[in-house]
Amino acid sequence: VTIAGVYNIKGGVGKTTCAVNFAYLSARDKRPTLLWDLDPQGSATYYYNTEPGIGTSAKKLLKSGADLQSVIRRTAYPQLDILPADFSYRKLDIVLKRAKSAKDGLRPFLEPLSRRYGLIILDCPPGITLLSENIFHAVDVLLVPNIPTTLCLRSYVQVLSFYRQQVLSLDRIVPYFSMVEARKRMHRENVDFFTRKLRRMCRHTIPYLADIERMGLVRQPVPHYLPRSAAARAFGALWEELRPRLFAAES
Ligand SMILES: Nc1ncnc2c1ncn2[C@@H]1O[C@H](COP(=O)(O)OP(=O)(O)OP(=O)(O)O)[C@@H](O)[C@H]1O
Ligand SMILES: [Mg+2]
Report the nearest-CA residue for atom 29 of ligand 1: 213
Q: pLDDT value at position 57?
A: 87
15 Cβ below 6 A of ligand 1: yes
Average per-residue pLDDT for the chain: 92
Distance CA 124, CA 9 (A): 9
Best CA proximity match to 82, nearest among 113, 59, 60 = 113
Write b or e for each residue in 143-160: b if 16 or more Cβ atoms lie within 10 A of its Cβ, otherwise e: bbbbbbbeebbebbeebe
Angle at 95 between CA 175 and CA 97, to 5 degrees: 75
**Dihedral angle of Cα 40, 45, 47, 49, to the nearest 10 degrees:** -140
Centre of ligand 2 from the C-alpha of residue 17, in Å: 7
Ligand 1, from 17, 47, 217: best to mutate by most atoms within 8 Å of Cβ?
17
What would the mean pLDDT of 230-241 be, rounded to a whole number? Answer: 98
Instruction: Note the pLDDT tens digit of each residue in 120-145.
Output: 999 999 998 999 989 998 999 999 99
What would the mean pLDDT of 146-150 be, rounded to a whole number? Answer: 93
Which atom of ligand 1 is nearest to 123's Cα?
Answer: 22
Flag whether pLDDT at 250 surpasses 80.
Answer: no
Q: What is the pTM for the complete model shown?
A: 0.96
Most confident of 52-61, 99-108, 115-124: 115-124
Instruction: Note the pLDDT tens digit of each residue in 151-203.
Output: 888 888 888 887 777 665 778 899 999 999 999 999 999 999 999 998 899 99
Centre of ligand 2 from the C-alpha of residue 21, in Å: 13
pLDDT tier at 66, thresholds 50, 70, 90: low
